[in-house]
């Protein structure tokens, strides 16, 4: 029976699950426990988590689920986790944005497909349009069933929906659930909007180059008949990474890797830097790398707007609602003795507090910073079984962006400059405005409770370094600031893509800590290839699959800004 089960698991997952050691434990009611052996016992705790006691009792009595890591479920003031006894796991959590009375129990909206509804009810709904002047969409806002459910309608979600629908306009229905249609808290809109090819992992370079290519030909890809062609206001000044003598060899090694992939990066010595960028203070700097071609920054709102427009023209349904939880459906295809359970229905709460059911074939997690919560709703990281013990290591990290005005600042050809201390700045428009910011130190992460800006961070951390590096920034005026969330992968700051080995219809596109916007288009394309073709054809992202979190083959991205 073990062999049968393993064989079926291997056949049904898209990628082979490579475990270091398999050993049998008590077999009880058809369930198996897998013991993963680890070389090093790393505790994967993020700084936001409080150590809590272990979760509720194991799923099947008498089973020893050998979980060899301590995973802690974070407690946040705004999430209330309720566990139902039995098979179904339903999480309820309040929305981060204040959307009315979130704690109230919602009335039942339309149930998912497959459940009986009386024809009289359905007729009444459809004729409400005539009697009340409402269209069908406001009465049945969430489709009762869909082929692909995309959670999150930002850059990554819209891009996944685009590539899926573009390949197969009439072949599959795609629904995008976005709880914040004005994108007030979405990381996409609050990002600085840069795109660079300078990464330390080869696939990341390829992902960025693909996105640059897409933006170059955006009129071909995203034009809609009779609408104005899309334009993302791309600024071509590129990125400039500076390195001290200590970090210079690493920078040069990365540049060689990037050039091997095809990126056009210039390595500039101290004298060349001083000649090319006279506004830069090169004390302490040994070498700099400047991307000349295809790097720069653009307006992320215009990109999402163009994607959304094209998606709607292709037939993607954008739904305003918040995901409440998932419900399982039994799948009799696994073993003849015990039917396994797969995610089948999503519970979506709309603005009028009604909870609708939406039956799907596959669900794609593009929830950005809140992807960890969505994964927990599916049971990933929330159960004690070996298959579901590993959580998705993505959580929100707050970052600040400050808008300053400096009339004598660097000229218009200044790139997005990143200091060795982590402070960055870029020009914004042509009126002497600049955006600047920095990543806080590891132990000084700001609280993610709200989106308030910490101005002390600017005066203590950002401005001193900035004025040291660019002397003309000594006199500037802070005009405005905002805070946004990184969807931070606290293990290796890299993408998590592909399907979960157990919930094989649950796909990830998360963890792009700070470089999500520039990879969004390429990640969407990769996922669509995985779903439709079964393998990655353009860029091979198999190194970023979820299994690497189980086998600890971490792939750390060093160049995080």
Which of 103, 532, 137, 13 lies closest to 322, judged by CA?
103
Residue 169 binds other proteins, judged by CB under 8 A = yes
| Minimum distance of other proteins from residue 520's CB (angstroms) | 20
Nearer to other proteins, 38 or 269 (CB): 269
3-class DSSP state for residue 423? strand
3-class DSSP state for residue 399? strand
Say which residues have a Cβ less than 8 Å from residue 441's Cβ, sequence separation at least 6: none
Interacting stretch for other proteins, rule CB under 8 A, among 231-239, 253-261, 385-393, 507-515?
Answer: 231-239
- Write the DSSP symbol of residue 2: H
Asked if 78 and 93 touch (Cβ cutoff 8 Å), the reply is: yes
Nearer to other proteins, 120 or 430 (CB): 430
Residue 354 binds other proteins, judged by CB under 8 A = no
Angstrom distance (rounded) from CA 451 to CA 443: 19
The maximal CA–CA distance of the chain, rounded, in angstroms, is 80
| Minimum distance of other proteins from residue 239's CB (angstroms) | 14
Nearer to other proteins, 237 or 385 (CB): 237
In angstroms, what CA-CA distances link 324 with 79, 327, 560?
Answer: 12, 10, 32
- Is the CA virtual torsion 441, 154, 241, 538 positive or negative? positive
| Minimum distance of other proteins from residue 524's CB (angstroms) | 15
Nearer to other proteins, 266 or 552 (CB): 266
Nearer to other proteins, 166 or 445 (CB): 166
Asked if 441 and 464 touch (Cβ cutoff 8 Å), the reply is: no
Nearer to other proteins, 49 or 168 (CB): 168
Say which residues have a Cβ less than 8 Å from residue 484's Cβ, sequence separation at least 6: 185, 187, 189, 190, 191, 398, 399, 401, 451
Which of 131, 228, 283, 447 is close enough to bind other proteins by CB under 8 A? 228
Token pair listed for 71: 């995973």
Which of 79, 168, 309, 329 is close enough to bind other proteins by CB under 8 A? 168
Strands 239-243 and 287-291: antiparallel
- Binding residue count for other proteins, defined by CB under 8 A: 28
Binding-residue pattern over the window 527 to 546 for other proteins, x denoting contact by CB under 8 A: -----xx-------------
Nearer to other proteins, 439 or 528 (CB): 528
Provide the β-strand partners of residue 537: none
Nearer to other proteins, 49 or 223 (CB): 223
Interacting stretch for other proteins, rule CB under 8 A, among 167-175, 245-253, 381-389, 439-447?
Answer: 167-175
| Minimum distance of other proteins from residue 517's CB (angstroms) | 18
Residue 412 binds other proteins, judged by CB under 8 A = yes
Token pair listed for 170: 């009439």
Binding-residue pattern over the window 114 to 153 for other proteins, x denoting contact by CB under 8 A: ----------------------------------------
Provide the β-strand partners of residue 349: 322, 355
Strands 174-178 and 145-151: parallel
* Residue 337: other Cβ atoms inside 10 A: 9
| Minimum distance of other proteins from residue 546's CB (angstroms) | 24
Angstrom distance (rounded) from CA 36 to CA 557: 25
Say which residues have a Cβ less than 8 Å from residue 145's Cβ, sequence separation at least 6: 112, 113, 114, 173, 358, 359, 360
Residue 442 binds other proteins, judged by CB under 8 A = no
* DSSP per-residue codes, 473-536: GGS-EEEEEEEEEEEEETTTSS-EEEE-SSSTTEEEEE--TT-HHHHHHHHHHHHHHHHHHSS-
| Minimum distance of other proteins from residue 161's CB (angstroms) | 16
Type and span of the H or E element at 322: strand 322-331
| Minimum distance of other proteins from residue 521's CB (angstroms) | 15
| Minimum distance of other proteins from residue 407's CB (angstroms) | 13
Interacting stretch for other proteins, rule CB under 8 A, among 114-122, 153-161, 225-233, 332-340?
Answer: 225-233
Residue 170 binds other proteins, judged by CB under 8 A = yes
Interacting stretch for other proteins, rule CB under 8 A, among 166-174, 327-335, 455-463, 471-479?
Answer: 166-174
Residue 430 binds other proteins, judged by CB under 8 A = yes
Which of 128, 144, 167, 259 is close enough to bind other proteins by CB under 8 A? 167
Residue 407 binds other proteins, judged by CB under 8 A = no
Which residue shows structure tokens 């999150």?
A: 152
Residue 10 binds other proteins, judged by CB under 8 A = no
Interacting stretch for other proteins, rule CB under 8 A, among 28-36, 133-141, 233-241, 392-400?
Answer: 233-241
Which residue shows structure tokens 């890797």?
A: 257
| Minimum distance of other proteins from residue 244's CB (angstroms) | 26
Residue 166 binds other proteins, judged by CB under 8 A = yes
Interacting stretch for other proteins, rule CB under 8 A, among 229-237, 351-359, 372-380, 490-498?
Answer: 229-237
Provide the β-strand partners of residue 266: 290
Which of 28, 69, 144, 236 is close enough to bind other proteins by CB under 8 A? 236
Say which residues have a Cβ less than 8 Å from residue 296's Cβ, sequence separation at least 6: 194, 195, 234, 235, 236, 237, 238, 239, 415, 416
Interacting stretch for other proteins, rule CB under 8 A, among 55-63, 142-150, 224-232, 547-555?
Answer: 224-232
* Residue 20: other Cβ atoms inside 10 A: 12
Angstrom distance (rounded) from CA 10 to CA 254: 36
Interacting stretch for other proteins, rule CB under 8 A, among 6-14, 354-362, 378-386, 407-415?
Answer: 407-415
Q: Residues interacting with other proteins, by CB under 8 A?
A: 166-171, 216, 219-220, 223, 225, 228-229, 231, 233-237, 292-293, 314, 411-413, 430, 532-533
């Amino acid at each position: 029976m073990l062999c049968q089960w393993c064989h079926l698991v291997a056949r049904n997952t898209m990628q082979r699950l490579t475990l270091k050691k398999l050993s049998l434990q008590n077999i009880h009611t058809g369930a198996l426990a897998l013991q993963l052996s680890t070389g090093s016992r790393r505790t994967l705790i993020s700084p936001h988590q409080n150590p809590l006691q272990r979760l509720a009792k194991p799923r099947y009595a008498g089973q020893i689920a050998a979980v060899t890591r301590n995973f802690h479920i974070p407690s946040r003031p705004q999430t209330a986790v309720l566990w139902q006894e039995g098979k179904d796991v339903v999480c309820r959590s309040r929305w981060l944005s204040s959307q009315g009375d979130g704690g109230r129990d919602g009335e039942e909206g339309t149930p998912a497909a497959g459940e009986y509804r009386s024809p009289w009810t359905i007729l009444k709904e459809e004729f409400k349009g005539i009697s009340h002047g409402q269209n069908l969409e406001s009465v049945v806002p969430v489709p009762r069933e869909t082929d692909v459910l995309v959670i999150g309608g930002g850059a990554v979600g819209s891009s996944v929906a685009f590539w899926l629908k573009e390949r197969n306009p009439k072949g599959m229905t795609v629904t995008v659930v976005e709880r914040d249609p004005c994108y007030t808290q979405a990381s996409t809109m609050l990002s600085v909007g840069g795109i660079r090819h300078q990464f330390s992992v080869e696939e990341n370079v390829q992902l960025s180059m693909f996105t640059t290519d897409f933006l170059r030909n955006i009129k071909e890809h995203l034009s809609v008949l009779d609408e104005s062609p899309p334009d993302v206001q791309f600024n071509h000044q590129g990125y400039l990474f500076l390195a001290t003598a200590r970090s210079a060899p690493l920078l040069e090694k990365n540049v060689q890797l990037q050039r091997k992939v095809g990126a056009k990066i210039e390595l500039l010595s101290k004298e060349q830097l001083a000649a090319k960028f006279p506004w830069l203070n090169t004390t302490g700097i040994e070498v700099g790398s400047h991307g000349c071609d295809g790097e720069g920054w653009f307006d992320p709102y215009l990109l999402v707007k163009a994607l959304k427009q094209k998606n709607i023209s292709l037939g993607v349904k954008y739904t305003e609602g918040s995901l409440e939880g998932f419900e399982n459906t039994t799948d009799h295809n696994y073993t003849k003795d015990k039917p396994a359970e797969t995610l089948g229905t999503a519970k979506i709460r709309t603005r009028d507090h009604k909870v609708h059911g939406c039956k799907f074939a596959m669900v794609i997690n593009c929830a950005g910073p809140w992807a960890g919560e969505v994964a927990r709703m599916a049971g990933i990281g929330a159960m004690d079984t070996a298959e579901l013990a590993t959580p998705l290591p993505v959580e929100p990290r707050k970052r600040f962006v400050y808008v300053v005005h400096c009339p004598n600042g660097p000229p218009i050809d200044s790139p997005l400059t990143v200091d060795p201390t982590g402070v960055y700045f870029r020009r914004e428009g042509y009126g002497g405005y600049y955006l600047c910011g920095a990543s806080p130190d590891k132990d000084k992460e700001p609280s993610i409770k709200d989106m308030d800006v910490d101005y002390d961070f600017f005066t203590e951390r950002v401005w001193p370094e900035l004025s040291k590096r660019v002397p003309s920034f000594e006199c500037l005026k802070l005009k405005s600031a905002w805070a946004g969330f990184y969807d931070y992968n606290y293990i290796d700051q890299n993408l998590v893509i592909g399907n979960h080995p157990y919930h094989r219809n649950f796909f990830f596109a998360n963890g792009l800590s700070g470089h999500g916007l520039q990879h969004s288009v390429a990640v969407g394309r990769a996922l669509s290839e995985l779903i439709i073709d079964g393998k990655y054809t353009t860029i091979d992202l198999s190194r970023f699959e979820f299994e690497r979190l189980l086998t600890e083959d971490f792939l750390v991205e060093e160049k995080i800004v």
